[in-house]
A and B are shown apart, each in its own frame.
Chain A
Amino acid sequence: MTLTIDYTGQLASVVGASEEAVEVAEGDSVADVLKGRLEVYGEKFGELVFDGEGRIRSTLLVVLDGEQAAGDKENLSLEGVKVLMLMTPIAGG
Chain B
Amino acid sequence: MEDIENELSDRDRAIYEWQLNVPGLGEQGQVKLRNSTALVSRIGGLGGPLALSLAAAGIGKLILVHGGHLRPDDLNRQILMRHDYLGKNRVDAAAETLRQFNPHIEIETVAENFTEGNAADLVERADIVFDAAPLFEERFLMNRECVLQQKPLIDCAMFNMEGQVIPIVPGETACLACLYPEVPEHWKRRFPVIGAVSALIANIGAMEGIKLIAGLSGVNLNRLIYFDTLAMKLQKVKIVRNPDCKICKKL
Contacts and interface: CB of A to CB of B under 8 A. Distances in A.
B45 A9 contact: no
Contact of A91 (B133, B160, B231, B239): B133
B45 to A, nearest CB: 6
Contact of A68 (B42, B184, B186, B237): B237
Contacts, number: 98
Q: Interface of chain A, helix or strand or loop or mixed?
A: mixed
Contacts of A66: 235-238
Interface stretch (B7-15, B23-31, B56-64, B134-142): B134-142
B115 to A, nearest CB: 17
Interface stretch (B94-102, B145-153, B175-183, B206-214): B175-183
A92 interface: yes
A93 B158 contact: yes
A41 to B, nearest CB: 14
Interface size class of B (residues with CB under 8 A): 35 or more
A85 B185 CA distance: 20
A67 B136 contact: no
A75 interface: no
A77 to B, nearest CB: 17
Interface string A43-84: 000011000000001110101001110100000000000000
Nearest to B48: A93
Interface of B: 42, 44-47, 132-136, 139, 156-160, 162-164, 179-182, 184-187, 191, 193, 198, 224, 226, 228, 230-231, 235-240, 242
